[in-house]
């Protein structure tokens, strides 16, 4: 390294470079800033282009399947449907999104008694059902992320490799401790943590977000990792890099927690319990710098 002292002009130039890099970082245009003499900006564009390519590839494969396919959330709502589903049920894809599959397939407000999706959430295994809809017969198959041997299915790994993000979405039927343990033992964790909280699960099994995070702490996930999956990871997934971070210039959306140590019990969607020594409790919540929750207030 040269021992030559930089001139005032060189120092000013470096300062301007650093300020420009920092501004780009705050705007979300840059993912990393490397180097000292001349900051190297590792831009997000290549990552975005690759993600768009993988997304396009996945959609093409999804639509090429000859069988009708629905992607459902925990409440049986359709998140995505392929072209074969449009043809099978004579319903445009845009109209399917957000509806419960039972509305589309059976014309009912609630799942049928022998619904394979409902059975799968209880058995944690592949479930099948042959059923008649009108004059047509359908063989319905539903799969959890684990196979019969407790291994994460190859199609799940492939989806992650192609850029699909996996959110917990705890809810009333999407989180089982046994599944979580087996998946975590294979280094498969949700990219983000969330509650899917609503009136039917607020008492149990979800309760609140700190409780959901606490469950993962007691399953062995380090605190820093759990918090990242609850804050900055989902923010990035939503294209909001200034959220979920305490970086200067970011909105002051802050939660203050106490990590309690003791003997605590948690329950999953199957009614199974988990005993553990850690529990997060929220003491204070700021939104945009304003206090919206203070424990005991």
How high is the pLDDT of residue 230? Answer: 94
Instruction: Give just the sign of the alpha carbon dihedral 215, 216, 220, 226.
Output: negative
pLDDT in tens, 126-141: 888 998 888 888 888 8
The CA distance from 230 to 236, in Å, is 11
What pLDDT shows up at residue 227? 94
Q: Taking 60 as the threshold, does the pLDDT of residue 98 lie above it?
A: yes
Helix axes 209-218, 223-230, angle to 10 degrees: 140
Percent of the chain at pLDDT above 90?
A: 32
> What is the arithmetic mean of pLDDT over 93-118?
89
Name all contacts of 277-280 with Cβ < 8 Å and 24+ positions apart: 277/218, 278/214, 278/217, 278/218, 279/210, 279/211, 279/214, 280/210, 280/211, 280/213, 280/214, 280/217
The residue-averaged pLDDT of 202-230 equals: 94
Please tell me the distance from the alpha carbon of residue 125 to that of residue 148, in angstroms, as a whole number: 6
Q: How many CA atoms lie within 13 A of 196 on its CB side?
A: 18
Summarize the confidence of residues 93-102 as an average pLDDT: 90
pLDDT at residue 1, as a whole number: 44
What pLDDT band is residue 6 in, cutting at 50, 70 and 90? low
Query: Tens digit of pLDDT for each residue in 154-213?
Result: 888 988 888 888 999 888 778 889 999 999 999 999 999 999 888 778 888 999 999 999
Mean pLDDT, residues 209-223: 96
Average pLDDT over residues 108-137: 85
Q: Does residue 292 surpass a pLDDT of 50?
A: yes
Is the pLDDT at 144 greater than 60, yes or no? Answer: yes
pLDDT tens-digit readout, 18-74: 666 666 655 555 544 444 444 444 444 555 565 566 667 767 877 888 888 888 776
**pTM (2 d.p.):** 0.63
**Per-residue pLDDT at 40:** 44
- CA torsion angle 223 224 225 227 (round to 10): 80
Within 10 angstroms of residue 39's Cβ, the number of other Cβ atoms is 18
291: pLDDT strictly greater than 90: yes
Predicted pLDDT of residue 61: 78
- Strands 70-72 vs 40-43: parallel, antiparallel or unpaired: unpaired
Q: How far apart are alpha carbons 35 and 42 in whole angstroms?
A: 11
Give the tens place of pLDDT for each residue, 229-242: 999 999 998 888 88
Report pLDDT digits (tens) over 244-266: 888 888 888 999 999 999 999 99
């Amino acid at each position: 390294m040269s021992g030559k002292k930089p001139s005032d002009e060189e120092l000013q130039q470096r300062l301007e470079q650093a300020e420009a890099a920092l501004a780009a970082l705050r705007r979300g245009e840059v993912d990393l800033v490397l180097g000292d003499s001349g900051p190297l900006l590792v831009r997000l564009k290549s990552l975005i282009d690759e993600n768009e390519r993988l997304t396009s590839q996945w959609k093409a494969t999804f639509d090429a399947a000859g069988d009708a396919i629905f992607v459902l959330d925990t409440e049986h709502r359709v998140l995505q449907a392929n072209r074969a589903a449009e043809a099978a049920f004579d319903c445009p894809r845009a109209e399917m999104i957000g509806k419960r599959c039972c509305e589309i397939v059976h014309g009912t407000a609630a799942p049928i008694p022998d619904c394979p999706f409902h059975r799968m959430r209880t058995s944690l295994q592949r479930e099948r059902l042959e059923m008649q809809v009108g004059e047509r017969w359908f063989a319905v198959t539903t799969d959890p992320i684990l196979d019969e041997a407790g291994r994460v299915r190859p199609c799940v790994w492939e989806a992650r490799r192609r850029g699909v993000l996996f959110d917990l979405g705890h809810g009333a039927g999407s989180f089982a401790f046994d599944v979580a343990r087996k998946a975590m033992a294979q280094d498969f964790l949700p990219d983000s943590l969330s509650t899917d909280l609503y009136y039917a699960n607020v008492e149990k099994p979800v309760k609140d977000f700190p409780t959901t995070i606490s469950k993962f702490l007691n399953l062995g996930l380090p605190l820093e990792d759990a918090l990242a999956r609850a804050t900055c990871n989902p923010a990035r997934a939503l294209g909001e890099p200034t959220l979920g971070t305490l970086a200067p210039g970011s909105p002051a959306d802050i939660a203050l927690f106490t990590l309690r140590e003791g003997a605590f019990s948690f329950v999953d969607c199957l009614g199974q319990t988990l005993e553990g020594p850690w529990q997060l409790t929220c003491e204070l919540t700021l939104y945009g710098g304003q206090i919206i929750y203070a424990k005991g207030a």
